[in-house]
Amino acid sequence: MSIKSGKNHYAIPGIIISLLINIAVINAQKVPISFEAYHGYTGTIDYLKKVNAAYPGITELMTIGESTMGRPIHVLVITGMNKGTTIDRHIELRNKRKENIQNVPAMKIHQGKPGHFIGGSTHGNEYTGTEVCLYIIDKLVSAYGNDETITKLIDSRAFYICPMINPDGVYNSVEKGIAQRANSMNKDDDEDGRINEDGPDDIDGDGFITSFRYRDTEGMYVIDDEDPRLMIRLGRDEKTDKQRYSVIREDIDNDKDGKRGEDYESGIDLNRNYPESWWKDDGFAGGSGTYPLSAPETHAMAEFFTNYRNILMAQFYHTSGGFTYRPMGTAPHSRLNPADVAVFDFIMGKKYLEIIGEEVPEAWLYPEKLDQYRKELQGSDADTYSKSRGYELPRGWRVSYNEEGDKRYGYGMATDWLYAQYGIYSITTELWNPEADIPGLEVRDDENRRAAVERALLKYQDDRYDGKLFIDWKSFRHPELGEGETGGWISRYSRNNALPGEPLLNVCEKHWQFELFRASLLPEIIIKDLKTNIIYSGNTSEGTAKRDNDEFRVETGKGKGRYNIIEITATIENTGALATNLADGEELPGNRQDVAWLVAERNNIEFLEGRPFVSLGSLGGREKIPGVSNNPSKKEVKWIIAVRDNTPLKIVVSSLKGGTVYQEINVK
Ligand SMILES: [Zn+2]
């Protein structure tokens, strides 16, 4: 990249310099952050504002929309704000809008860089993702200027981090302690003329909304023999001689309509409200909401992704399970371009499995033997899609589409939408697998693995958190259900999220490493081997130059000045690992080819060979993708121009997702 630094250098006495350096090292983490407690909505907003204030040179805090309850949806942009360029800084609009009509805002500097989106808490009760986002923010900004690789990454790429896609859900789940997966809606669910009047309640007044258990011959729970604090859920037809219990959230019938918790803030599942495959095959609504993007939160996301078409990577954090869904969930394997599958599985999936410590499929380690693996699978009981790929997807890296049953997982999901409609390597990671994320967690063998993990977690919180995350059961008389007991995990710490402290830090570190790896795959365009050759230089007065078969003819005009005929050649190369587009990228509506422009004052230049811009297709990456013949990663460009002397010339290369770079041309 060719960037002119306008910075002045002043002489500073040596002593002051060394003092400044010391301060810089000590304050590498300018905004301290701890993961001993969840940040929730309030802590997250506070942290984002502080980071933005402390790092104005590399951050921008955008508000991309507002939740139902009026809370801002923020995206923190992290990129070198004085590094890079955009196409509109070089090429003027041909048809200027009327004065005072600002309908074409100037591009932001980061729109000229490959973008990487990371979002958390689409589901409000899955706020581990918010924490991982904050951890990644801290790692990025603290490393800037201290770590060469990360500094370069921040200067040349744009990170877009949205810790809370569903801020209302996070607020209710963390601050109020009422787990809320959906967004909030001002909706009269029970049609009694009142809105959100019957939600969960702290019935025993201990400050926490936990659970209420009561004896019930129809109940689906029994008390665990080993740890009587634990309630074991029975299978649907499971028989038992033990006392059966029902377990509900602490709740009473606030509006006296005979139902509990039937009209709370909780609205729709945002991850079923995106446009991709929102409709069923029969044309009826399949997704959530009244129409695709009906929720203010998904609407904000759609506007954001439409404005920032430079984004090539996207990650949506959910919980739990400790695995990743790559596309697709709404359509079978055959819907994906094999070249994209190769990038997802052989490059990203392989790395992910290594990071989470799971076995990598043999076919991914030896992709050159894929045909052989494919043959071997034919006689097995593997599903059709695995047979066509040549391998079964492992536990840790999978699709949500049900390949065995040939059924889609859901409708209107974010990851599918961004892959299919925006050409983005989008994935969804289900964070938090206690057995992997708490090293040394003692889970004893048991037929009921889930119960064994629950027991281990209860013991872990006894030892590490002084038993403060779980409220012991105590007698309580429920006004509607009679005698029973209140108690259980404090909602905030229940199974859904990584326990704060060490377990959460382990989750954060793994996923920071993975996203750092993905960011390092992004394309990076350079202009090199720029050569100019003056074919004709005349002290003629201004005239026109024409190409006449193989000859150039300069017709003398009436003005003055030298008129040169110059041949310009250069190589445009993508030195990044991945191509500037997904395999279908430039064919997708709204995507486009990479383009090289030769820019000069319009009245001073005439193109004799070549046009002002040259389409380059999609430049391939340097990484060899198994089974895929890459597009070439470099292309030659050539122009022959007639240009008035001393006219500044430059080459500008603009790729939607590969970034914009330029180089000034020194005619020799
Ligand atoms: Zn989720």
Are 113 and 162 in contact, with CB atoms under 8 Å apart? no
Gap from CA of 325 to ligand 1 centroid (Å): 11
Gap from CA of 44 to ligand 1 centroid (Å): 19
Hey, is 345 helix, strand or coil? helix
Gap from CA of 660 to ligand 1 centroid (Å): 35
Are 210 and 484 in contact, with CB atoms under 8 Å apart? no
Distance CA 275, CA 318 (A): 20
Gap from CA of 386 to ligand 1 centroid (Å): 26
Burial 119-158 (b: 16+ CB within 10 A, else e): bbbbbbbbbbbbbbbbbbbbbbbbbbeeeeebbebbbbbb
Gap from CA of 122 to ligand 1 centroid (Å): 7
The whole-number pLDDT of residue 552 equals 63
Gap from CA of 192 to ligand 1 centroid (Å): 31
Gap from CA of 646 to ligand 1 centroid (Å): 60
Gap from CA of 399 to ligand 1 centroid (Å): 15
Alpha helices (H) in 274-431, listed in sequence order: 296-307, 338-342, 350-356, 362-365, 370-378, 384-389, 414-422
Gap from CA of 436 to ligand 1 centroid (Å): 19
Gap from CA of 326 to ligand 1 centroid (Å): 14
Distance CA 309, CA 304 (A): 9
Q: Would you call 417 exposed, middle or buried from its count of C-beta atoms within 10 A (0-12, 13-18, 19+)?
A: buried
CA 243 to each of CA 222, 240, 249: distance values in angstroms, whole numbers, following the listed order: 6, 8, 20
489's CB contacts (< 8 A; 6+ apart) are 210, 469, 470, 471, 495
414's CB contacts (< 8 A; 6+ apart) are 122, 271, 274, 298, 301, 316, 426, 428
DSSP code of residue 540: P
Gap from CA of 132 to ligand 1 centroid (Å): 14
ipTM of model: 0.96
Write out the H or E segment, with its range, that includes residue 294.
none
Compute, in degrees rounded to 10, the torsion defined by CA atoms 387, 391, 395, 399: -60
Gap from CA of 420 to ligand 1 centroid (Å): 20
Gap from CA of 76 to ligand 1 centroid (Å): 21
Gap from CA of 316 to ligand 1 centroid (Å): 9
Lookup: tokens for 95: 């048809």
Gap from CA of 156 to ligand 1 centroid (Å): 31
Hey, is 518 helix, strand or coil? helix
Hey, is 656 helix, strand or coil? coil
Series of mean pLDDT values for 10-residue runs along the chain (668 residues):
39 44 58 97 98 98 98 98 96 75 83 98 98 98 97 98 98 96 94 91 94 96 96 94 96 92 94 97 94 98 97 98 97 96 98 98 95 95 96 98 96 98 97 95 91 95 96 96 96 93 98 98 98 80 61 59 85 97 90 96 90 96 88 95 91 98 91
Gap from CA of 199 to ligand 1 centroid (Å): 21
The whole-number pLDDT of residue 539 equals 58
Distance CA 324, CA 352 (A): 8
Nearest to 385 by CA among 366, 406, 363, 370: 406
Are 64 and 162 in contact, with CB atoms under 8 Å apart? yes
Domains, in order of start, for the chain? 197-264+452-493 (no CATH), 525-665 (2.60.40.10)
Write out the H or E segment, with its range, that includes residue 383.
none
Gap from CA of 429 to ligand 1 centroid (Å): 9
Lookup: tokens for 281: 């095959």
Gap from CA of 123 to ligand 1 centroid (Å): 5
Gap from CA of 182 to ligand 1 centroid (Å): 9
Compute, in degrees rounded to 10, the torsion defined by CA atoms 221, 222, 228, 230: -30
Residue type, 245: Y
Residue type, 241: D
Gap from CA of 318 to ligand 1 centroid (Å): 4
